A and B are shown apart, each in its own frame.
Chain A
Amino acid sequence: MSKFLPLAEAVSNNLRSGDAAAFEGFTHLIPTAAAHEAIRQGFKELTLIRMTPDLIYDQMVGMGMARKMVFSYAGNPGVGLLRRTRDTVENGWPHPIEIEEYSHAAIANAYEAGAAGLPVAIFRGYHGLGLGEVNPNIKSVTCPFTGEMLAAVPSVRPDVTFIHAQKANKRGDVLIEGIIGIQKEAVLAAKRAVVTVEEVVDNFDDLHPNLTILPHWTVDAISVVPGGAHPSYTHGYYGRDNASYLEWDKVSADRDRFREWMHKHVIEATPEDFAARVEGLRRTA
């Protein structure tokens, strides 16, 4: 049952060191504010799961919070590589982490299987590929009806999933629209779910009947954090801060500069700082 909580409390109530945690968002609605709160609270030994671990996992990995990363595309979207992630994989800084790597189709299927309460996801893929040789969790099964060899991966069932969404109503039902990504599956697959939202409205009475809604009883905590997806965007609220993605490429290139930046913009910052970061990106439309 969802509870409206300040972000610090929503995170501390639902995340523990050693958890398998998913901070999901597919380019859109990335839960940056929640990730920064987790960084401030200093969790360790996390298994970080995400299709596209962009800036927030680069930051968490660089801060030494991860034991393992499960992913399908570790890039800075539209810019290039993730330099903190590269530093741990190539040089073991600040410490080595375990890598469990898939394709998008595999993790999308694995979240869906998790949401469906299944132990395994089955799909057509991975024929003749290198990932099957380096990831022992990529296996195959034979279709009992046709004999076709299909790929099988374990379902993803995080201890906790964090997402950002447009809005909640007063009861705590959550609306997601635009590029909806994998968030619904990631929430339903997890034991616990925390949602940050741009705003709370009285009710959803006038909305289209087929929108993506997470009922209040699927969510454990909701925090209102305007701008909480910055530097990604929230459809209908503010645009993507492309300059910040470019800036991250420079900040993350150097270990000292990275730590300095994290101290100033994360450790010493608060969830309330996000609103000002998106002020210039809000639309008049």
Chain B
Amino acid sequence: MIDKTPDPGFTPREMMTIAASRALKNEDVCFVGIGAPSAACNIARLTHAPDITLIYESGTLGTAPDILPLSIGDPELCETALTTVSVPEMFRYWLQGGHITIGFLGAAQLDKFGNINTTVIGDYRKPKTRLPGAGGAPEIATSAQEIYITMAQSKRGMVEKIDFYTSFGHGEGGDHRQRLGIRTKGPTRLITDLAIWKPHPVTKEFTVVSMHPGVTRDMVQETCGWEVAFADALEETPSPTELELTTLRALQERTAAAHQRTGTAG
């Protein structure tokens, strides 16, 4: 961020997590991606949405971890879950069966229509960087009723054209999802460290609807690889409340302390 702005009392990353958490409702059944989505989903649960159902792809249904898991299958997730099911049951009955209201995903590379690449940078057969791959994201992106995406902005991450279509957003825009027979809404919200974006109702291109406190249009454009569209009625995201900030910081402190504990590494 820019040095000259007065310290707002929170970091852009904290604002991102908190803005993302606010998008979730108490009655949501949310399939949680690891990393930034996991923090946002748990802050929602620990603040305004105590009854939210959080689901991780390892099969943990209705989990309430006291610390953020490092992986999607940490012991904490199973120990605090209502129940734990097998992986095929998770993907077949719970996700494909239509029980998930929100799929919350991160992205390595994202385009303006919410298509996500987590597979390769460069050519698939001769990649510059081989990324981990699809995981659960492709079917979350098409089977969850709607998709929220959260990621920090950068020109490398938010690009005009992604190198590989790992997870389908709105494709080429417009009614591309419907034309492929996909029945769910797809990405309906993108929460970054600078702004909240929603797809244009017709073109489906992500449009900035709210900028976080202290953020300018230039800052949003300079960290984004496509030409940014701004809504006519541009809002300012409310600053984090005291409760949101203290809850987030306490969660991160508990998490850091727990992850430092280890055994006698062999």
- Among B71-79, B148-156, B230-238, the stretch that binds chain A is B71-79
Cβ < 8 Å to B, chain A residues 115-169: 123-131, 134, 148-149
Instruction: Assess whether A14 is interfacial by the CB under 8 Å rule.
Output: no
- Given A78-B70, A179-B84, A180-B84, A104-B91 contact (CB < 8 Å): yes
- Given A111-B88, A181-B59, A235-B78, A277-B166 contact (CB < 8 Å): no
Q: A101-B119, A178-B75 are in contact. List 5 more A-B contacts (CB 8 A).
A: A27-B72, A78-B74, A123-B96, A235-B75, A280-B264
Contacts of B119 in A (CB 8 A): 101, 130-131
Contacts of A85 in B (CB 8 A): 130
Instruction: Assess whether A220 is interfacial by the CB under 8 Å rule.
Output: no
Number of B residues contacting the other chain (C-beta, 8 Å)? 60
Cα(A280)–Cα(B261), bound, Å: 9
Q: Chain A residue with minimal CB distance to B84?
A: A179
- Given A128-B168, A178-B75, A242-B70, A81-B58 contact (CB < 8 Å): no
Contacts of A149 in B (CB 8 A): 181
| A134–B124 touching, CB < 8 Å | yes
Q: How far is the CB of B118 from chain A (nearest CB, A)?
A: 9
Instruction: Assess whether A48 is interfacial by the CB under 8 Å rule.
Output: no
Q: List 30 A-B contacts (CB under 8 A).
A: A26-B87, A27-B73, A52-B135, A72-B133, A74-B132, A78-B70, A78-B74, A90-B127, A90-B130, A103-B134, A104-B57, A104-B91, A105-B91, A109-B88, A127-B168, A129-B168, A130-B165, A131-B166, A178-B84, A179-B58, A179-B77, A182-B88, A240-B71, A240-B74, A241-B262, A243-B263, A265-B266, A277-B265, A279-B264, A280-B264
Cβ < 8 Å to B, chain A residues 236-285: 238-245, 247, 265, 273-274, 276-281
Q: Chain A residue with minimal CB distance to B142?
A: A127
| B134–A72 touching, CB < 8 Å | yes
Q: How far is the CB of A269 from chain B (nearest CB, A)?
A: 8
Cα(A85)–Cα(B90), bound, Å: 28
Instruction: Assess whether B50 is interfacial by the CB under 8 Å rule.
Output: no
Cα(A108)–Cα(B71), bound, Å: 18
Q: How far is the CB of A170 from chain B (nearest CB, A)?
A: 26
Instruction: Assess whether B60 is interfacial by the CB under 8 Å rule.
Output: yes
* Contact of A179 (CB < 8 Å), options: B34, B60, B143, B259: B60
Interface of B toward A, CB cutoff 8 Å: 34, 57-60, 69-75, 77-78, 84-88, 90-92, 95-96, 119, 124-125, 127-139, 142-143, 164-168, 171, 176-177, 180-182, 259, 261-266
| B84–A125 touching, CB < 8 Å | no
Please list the 8 inter-chain residue pairs (A to B) with the smallest Cβ-Cβ separation, ordered nearest first: A27-B73, A78-B70, A75-B132, A280-B263, A277-B266, A77-B71, A281-B263, A243-B262
Q: How far is the CB of A227 from chain B (nearest CB, A)?
A: 9
Contacts of B75 in A (CB 8 A): 28, 178, 233, 235, 239-240
| A103–B73 touching, CB < 8 Å | no
Q: Chain B residue with minimal CB distance to A233?
A: B75
* Contact of B136 (CB < 8 Å), options: A89, A103, A281: A103
Contacts of A243 in B (CB 8 A): 262-263, 265
Cα(A229)–Cα(B265), bound, Å: 13
- Given A104-B135, A148-B181, A235-B78, A277-B86 contact (CB < 8 Å): no
- Given A104-B136, A108-B91, A128-B171, A77-B59 contact (CB < 8 Å): no
Contacts of A274 in B (CB 8 A): 266
Instruction: Assess whether A37 is interfacial by the CB under 8 Å rule.
Output: no
Contacts of B129 in A (CB 8 A): 81, 86, 90
* Contact of B180 (CB < 8 Å), options: A26, A77, A127, A235: A127
Contacts of B182 in A (CB 8 A): 127
| A109–B91 touching, CB < 8 Å | yes
Cα(A85)–Cα(B132), bound, Å: 10
Cα(A51)–Cα(B91), bound, Å: 13
Contacts of B87 in A (CB 8 A): 26, 51, 104, 108, 181-182
- Given A90-B129, A105-B138, A185-B88 contact (CB < 8 Å): yes
- Given A238-B263, A242-B262, A273-B266, A129-B165 contact (CB < 8 Å): yes
